[in-house]
Amino acid sequence: MTTPPPLLRFAAVTYRFGAVTAVGGVSCDIAQGSFVALVGASGSGKSTLLKTVNTLVRPSEGRVLFGGEDVSALPPARLRRRVGYVFQSIGLFPHMSVAENIAIGPRLTGEKLPGERIAELLELVELDPVFARRMPDELSGGQRQRVGVARALAGGPELLIMDEPFGALDPLTRDALSRKVRELHETLGLTTVMVTHDMAEALLLADRVLVMDSGKLVADETPRALLAGAGGAVAQRLASVPREQAERLAALEGLGEKRG
Amino acid sequence: MREVWAILPDLGDKLAAHVVLSASAIGLAMLIALPLAVWAGRSQVVARLALSLASLVQTVPALALLALFFPLLLSLRAVFGEGLPTLGFLPALMALTLYALLPILRNAVTAQANLDPGVLEAADGVGMTRWQKLTLVEAPLAAPFIMAGIRTASVWTIGAATLATTIGQPSLGDPIFAGLQTQNWALVLAGCLVSAGLALAADNLLWVIEVGLDRRARWMTFGGMAVVALGISAALWGQGTERGERPIVIAAKQFSEQYILAQAIGARLEEEGYRVEYRDGLGSAVVHSALASSSIDIAIDYTGTIWANFMKRKDNPGREAMYRTITEWEARENKVRVLGRLGFENAYAFAMREDRARDLGVASLADLVAVGPRLTVGGDPEFFERPEWIAVRDAYGLRFGRTRNFAPTFMYSALASGEADVISAYTSDGRIAADRLVVLADPKGALPSYDALLMLSPRIAGDEGVVAALRPMLGAISVEAMREANYAVDREDAGKLTPKQAAEQLARKAGF
């Protein structure tokens, strides 16, 4: 079996501000085509680590290599076009229409995105192309994050990084959109890194789960292995929550069957 | 009210000057405030410093701020040379610009600080450079708030620009100040109406632009901008028709006599084919320095004023000697030509109501020493700072219970109503006779003489045409004739004349 070359490599990445070490020497490779979830409690350093990829955060020490190149050496505009970024507060530009929001990345590099391409991107995230002319304040939260995903995909990125992308959505929207993103990951042949504090989401979507604690990588397992008890104490404490919930739900269901 | 309407059409050039001045000040303030706000958005220190400085400026009264630029520019002449104007448009522009900074700066800084952090993160996330982030995201989102700041600044500036009159810049303050001095309320009202109307119009137009920006309604934004641009262009065009060689500028201080004499001088020069311009309502100190710097060309000043205030002399050598010494001193020190004396004196004198003087048994300044602490003395706004007052006070050992400042025209009303017991009157004032006031004797000769002098700036000192046109005025105006003319302007009944009419009458009676 041949492993594909890593698309993304963290090499001893450290980030400090003041006396606090948010990320303390993280090293790992992300293979092309993989869907990786980065899980941890609040303040574990997972978002900070993620932002070193598109240089929103510059590491104090260590390097981040993207396709073999140090990201700090790449012009930010070009780098960020190749790295789609989706985050919890979405950040649609309120003074731009949906179409303008989606087309903003290519526009920055001097390319005008044609209408058909915008319609195609809207369809990818299951929005009717008539949404193109609407303003962000006319959309629901779920619709807005769909536009956020379309915007991240507009530049034809190789890598998609997502920071709690579904955190602010209601459970139904959250489920539908996360399935959609996983599907896009497959059909577009993307490499995806998703930060989440929700282990259930990580286990269900990703094919590899990294667990962070106090700025360190403490586990690197497949969902199956994690559920089987691998990954150490921190990972298991996080995994126990959905597992117990599932067991309790199953028990409730069993009870119902007996009654019926 | 009909009088007010009759004045309005004549205010066109004042309105144009007012618009050009206000628009320039706001434009310049924007040029300074907006980049400063961007910088402040990147640095807390700059934000705090810029906002405190702008707030500090606001605590200075607008009138003082305008006046402060005169000495500042005068001292800057050492660097920039004699061509630097010290009066008129430049100092007015600088003061008003400072005044307009705060609202624009504050709104721009606040707008930036309140931008949604998610939107700013997205701007970075899609790969915007700092400049792109500023122009594509921050500026459009902050624009409605900045526009609101510009609106506030515009209303303030249009209001404060009326004060530019005091430093020799034509504005809608001209009719207001002239009207206040000569108690011509129609003139005051007309000036206020036009400036208030202008402020309202600007406020509404800028509101349209603000709403247009907020709702992204381009027709509103651009429509509003087009009307603003049209208004400013019209004002510029209205001003532009008066280009060419500089006319002869005649100054007047802030009292009726000065307005009348300025009109009389102007009429004689126009008869000889000169183009003239009036700078009314200037402060006494400003007039003297402005004449020396040729910012104005002709002024009437008084021997005692120059002697005590500018030559800093405390002695009293007598009327003739004082006149000769001043003429030489002005020629030597300031290159100002004292053409001669008009004939009358406008001396400071202390006046009281006849009944009050009788009751208190006061006939001379010496008699005031005993009763002074029980009395209120009224003077014009500069009087109690003037060396003449200090000389009189020290010569007699005068002490008063209270000192109060009044605009010259209101001093007589204050005397009549009992709000002041003694006032610093002027001997050429018609109201002394009309109100039957008692002028207190000055046995110690503490007050100098105040011969009215006709003075020419270095620029026109050698212009024999001007000299020939003005020579007939020298020695021609008796104190009685001047009093009559002053009273005609100051009185409030049907016999009231405008300064121009009074000047014509004076010229007829004095025969020049």
**β-bridge pairing A61-66 and A216-221:** unpaired
Residue B490 is which amino acid? Answer: D
Given CB atoms, is B216 within the 8 Å cutoff of chain A?
yes
Supply φ then ψ for residue A5, to 5 degrees: -65, 145
pLDDT at B401 over 80: yes
Is residue B76 a part of any domain in this protein?
yes
pLDDT at A88: 86
* Cβ <8 Å between B132 and A81: no
pLDDT one-digit tens code per residue, A78-121: 888 889 999 888 889 999 999 999 999 889 888 898 999 999 99
Is residue B108 a part of any domain in this protein?
yes
Given CB atoms, is B131 within the 8 Å cutoff of chain A?
no
B318 vs B336, higher pLDDT = B336
In chain B, what residues touch A76 (CB-CB under 8 Å)? Answer: 127, 129
pLDDT at B59 over 90: no
Is residue B444 a part of any domain in this protein?
no
CB pairs under 8 A between A and B: 59
pLDDT one-digit tens code per residue, B128-144: 988 999 999 999 999 99
Given CB atoms, is A53 within the 8 Å cutoff of chain B?
no
Residue A159 is which amino acid? Answer: L
For residue B101, give the 3-state DSSP assignment: helix
d(CA B467, CA B298): 11
Task: Choose among B116, B120, B127: nearest Cβ to A105.
Answer: B127
The answer on B387 and B330 residing in a single domain is no
Contact between A90 and A106 (Cβ < 8 Å) = no
The answer on B74 and B162 residing in a single domain is yes
Token reading at A76: 């930010």
d(CA B170, CA B18): 7
- Give the residue from B301, B284, B312 showing the smallest Cα distance to B336: B301
Q: For B121, name the nearest residue in chain A, comparing CA atoms only.
A: A91
Reported residue count of chain A is 260
The answer on B80 and B164 residing in a single domain is yes
The answer on B179 and B327 residing in a single domain is no
Q: For B139, name the nearest residue in chain A, comparing CA atoms only.
A: A95
Confidence of residue A260 (pLDDT cuts 50, 70, 90): very low
The count of domains in chain B is 3
Question: Structural domain of residue B357, as residue ranges?
Answer: 348-439
Provide the shortest C-alpha distance from residue A108 to chain B (in Å). Answer: 7
Confidence of residue A65 (pLDDT cuts 50, 70, 90): very high
d(CA B301, CA B298): 10
Provide the shortest C-alpha distance from residue B211 to chain A (in Å). Answer: 14
Given CB atoms, is A22 within the 8 Å cutoff of chain B?
no
pLDDT at B170: 84
Q: For B131, name the nearest residue in chain A, comparing CA atoms only.
A: A108
The answer on B303 and B265 residing in a single domain is yes
Provide the shortest C-alpha distance from residue A150 to chain B (in Å). Answer: 12
List A63's β-bridge partners, or say none: A11
Given CB atoms, is B74 within the 8 Å cutoff of chain A?
no
CATH number at residue B228: 1.10.3720.10
Token reading at B480: 């009685």
Least reliable range by pLDDT among A151-160, B141-150, B243-252: B243-252
Is residue B301 a part of any domain in this protein?
yes
* Cβ <8 Å between B121 and A56: yes
d(CA B287, CA A128): 75
The answer on B231 and B163 residing in a single domain is yes
In chain B, what residues touch A79 (CB-CB under 8 Å)? Answer: 127
CA atoms within 13 A on the CB side of A141: 13
Is residue B356 a part of any domain in this protein?
yes
The answer on B186 and B324 residing in a single domain is no
**What percentage of chain B has pLDDT greater than the value 70?**
99
Write out residues 95-124 of A within 8 Å (CB-CB) of B. 95, 104-105, 108-109
Tell me the C-alpha to C-alpha distance, in Å, between residue B346 and each of B42, B257, B258, B448, B459.
Answer: 61, 9, 11, 11, 27
* Cβ <8 Å between B127 and A78: yes
Is residue B267 a part of any domain in this protein?
yes
Least reliable range by pLDDT among B88-92, B178-182, B321-325, B366-370: B178-182
Is residue B197 a part of any domain in this protein?
yes
pLDDT at B246: 79
Supply φ then ψ for residue A87, to 5 degrees: -140, 170
- Give the residue from A62, A54, A3 showing the smallest Cα distance to A217: A62
pLDDT at A35 over 90: yes
Is residue B382 a part of any domain in this protein?
yes
Token reading at B305: 């004023």
* Cβ <8 Å between B121 and A77: no
pLDDT one-digit tens code per residue, A180-232: 999 999 999 999 999 999 999 999 999 999 999 999 999 999 999 998 888 88
Tell me the C-alpha to C-alpha distance, in Å, between residue A246 and each of A219, A225, A227.
Answer: 22, 17, 12
pLDDT at B362 over 50: yes
List B437's β-bridge partners, or say none: B353
The answer on B405 and B335 residing in a single domain is no
Confidence of residue B244 (pLDDT cuts 50, 70, 90): low
The residue assigned the tokens 């049209």 is B230
In chain B, what residues touch A151 (CB-CB under 8 Å)? Answer: 126
CA atoms within 13 A on the CB side of A172: 1
Domains of chain A, CATH where assigned = 6-252 (3.40.50.300)
The answer on B272 and B172 residing in a single domain is no
Q: How far is CA A36 from the centre of its chain?
A: 8
Provide the shortest C-alpha distance from residue B118 to chain A (in Å). Answer: 5
Burial class of residue B78 (count of CB atoms within 10 Å of its CB; 0-12, 13-18, 19+): exposed
The answer on B158 and B284 residing in a single domain is no
In chain A, what residues touch B121 (CB-CB under 8 Å)? Answer: 56, 87, 89, 91
Provide the shortest C-alpha distance from residue B246 to chain A (in Å). Answer: 51
pLDDT at B455 over 90: yes
pLDDT at A139: 93
Task: Choose among B116, B132, B141: nearest Cβ to A108.
Answer: B132
How would you list the strands of the sheet with B348-353, edge to edge?
A: B402-405, B376-379, B422-426, B348-353, B437-439
**β-bridge pairing B298-302 and B348-353:** unpaired
The answer on B144 and B50 residing in a single domain is yes
- Other beta carbons less than 10 A from residue B249's beta carbon: 23
CATH number at residue B402: 3.40.190.120
CATH number at residue B302: 3.40.190.10
In chain A, what residues touch B127 (CB-CB under 8 Å)? Answer: 76-81, 105, 108-109
d(CA B156, CA B366): 49
Least reliable range by pLDDT among B70-84, B207-221, B244-258, B347-361: B70-84
B168 vs A1, higher pLDDT = B168
The answer on B70 and B23 residing in a single domain is yes
pLDDT at B479: 87
